[in-house]
Structure 1
């Protein structure tokens, strides 16, 4: 069970973070949360899908790394095999701490039981004087960007739903060895409806900055074939 504590120089002056990318470091996940402002960076490498969160009755934007739970096909001998790592993965093992007082400042929180915490190795988060390092400052900025983007994404989803631009996705994948994988429970942007959107609808998406990320999400669907190719290659190398 995660042990979340606020980062501070008194308790974490000598703490170091390992940057290796592997299953043992907690990177074995099929997908991660993303947000519209990140779509441009993602679409070169990852498939962007949408999934309904039953508890919140709201859609999440996701960057896909695999075709089944616990699978990350971008892990390669301790590194991440893409030039851009999604923010939700890049900031691990840190997160934003949300205080009960909504007016209070959010804090940088760390899972003190994370395997990323090094024993004398890794990136320091405070220097010898207890001053945050450039690494921690970078993490803080990324967390702020991720948190703001995630909270703002609900308005983007509402706009897509307003114009009925989300449709269910179901894909059956048969591997060369006969193994079958089925990708279900996700949604994509309906390309035809987007292209036939009324002038009013297009103007709204454009004015709110939602048109570009929508086309980025559509373009990212071409990466599904690349994801399948990664899975085929992983099966050969087992």
Structure 2
């Protein structure tokens, strides 16, 4: 169960955080949330797919890391095997919190129940001896601000995609070298034919709103699906 607290030096002056990769620290996930502002960096390493929430009907974007629940093919023991780590994973155990009325200045919160919270005196300090934010916390705060801004901009991006009919259901059948098969279902990708059929006015509107570049980045990211399959084959072969 989560235990979210407003981060402050009085209560958390001695707090340390484990920053290394590992399943024990919450990295064993097949996908993690990303935002359009991050697509340019994500697309160089991971496929970007979209998922519609069954209850709300709202779309979200995900960086795909594996094919099964709990599978992260970029996690090699305690090593992150990629040059980039999605922000949604990199900022843990921190998050942005706002008053219940969703007004006022955002605050940095920390989940004291998260496995990255150090209980053994190891890890990176969050505050220095004077109670000032450490360089680590300053970097986290910047990443949190970026992720929060991207999250608040995302509804307009997805509204534009739906308005132009640019999201299509996506199913990937993954035959592996050992003869087994995996199917990736329940996701959406950009409909390239619909995008190519848009007229200049529609494309201009997407560009003016800042949506066209993330669309292209998401499309380009799918070139990494083959690499993800290769990683899965290597993982299966290695037992």
TM-score (norm 2): 0.96
Q: CA deviation at 1:137?
A: 1.3
SS of aligned partner of 2:154 = helix
- Structure 1 position 201, deviation (Å): 0.8
Question: Offset of 1:25 from its aligned partner?
Answer: 0.7
Comparing 214-223 and 99-108, the one that deviates more: 99-108
Matches of 1:78 and 1:98, distance apart in 2: 33
**Paired residue for 2:34?**
34
Partner of 2:145: 144
Q: State the SS of the aligned residue for 1:161.
A: helix
Specify every segment of 5 or more residues in structure 1 that has no aligned partner in the other structure, as ranges: none
Residue 192 of structure 1: CA displacement?
1.4
What residue in structure 2 maps to residue 92 of structure 1?
92
Partner residue, 2:202: 201
Task: State the alpha-carbon separation in 1 of the partners of residues 157 and 139 from structure 2.
Answer: 26
Structure 1 segments of 4+ aligned residues over 3 angstroms from their partners = none
Residue 135 (structure 2) aligns with: 134
Shift of the alpha carbon at 1:20?
A: 1.4
Give 1:161's aligned residue. 162
Partner of 1:188: 189
Aligned length: 238
Q: CA deviation at 1:101?
A: 3.3
8 Å CA contact 2:169, 2:189 repeated in 1: yes
Inter-partner Cα distance in structure 1 for 2:230 and 2:58: 31
d(CA) in 2 for partners of 1:40 and 1:136?
A: 24
Q: CA deviation at 1:207?
A: 0.6
- C-alpha separation in 2, matches of 1:157 and 1:223: 23
Question: Any idea what SS the aligned residue of 1:33 has?
Answer: strand
Q: Deviations over 1:110-150 (max 9, x none)?
A: 11122212221111110111111111111111111101101
Residue 222 of structure 1 aligns to a residue whose secondary structure is helix
**Counterpart in 2 of 1:59?**
59
Task: Return the alpha-carbon distance in structure 2 between the equivalents of residues 233 and 142 of structure 1.
Answer: 32
In 1, are the aligned partners of 2:28 and 2:72 still within 8 Å (CA)? yes
For residues 102 and 169 of structure 1, what CA distance do their matches in structure 2 show?
A: 35
Q: Does 1:48 align with 2:45?
A: no
Q: TM-score, normalised by structure 1?
A: 0.97
For residues 144 and 131 of structure 2, the distance between their equivalents in structure 1, rounded to whole angstroms, comes to 21
Alpha-carbon distance between aligned partners in 1 of 2:115 and 2:17, rounded to the nearest angstrom = 9
Q: C-alpha separation between the residues in 2 aligned to 1:192 and 1:232?
A: 31
- CA deviations over 1:76-122 (Å, ceiling 9, x no partner): 13121111111001101111112213222221111112221222111
Query: Is this contact kept in 1: 2:23–2:77, CA < 8 A?
Result: no
Q: In the alignment, which residue of structure 2 is the partner of 1:69?
A: 69
Q: CA deviation at 1:75?
A: 0.5
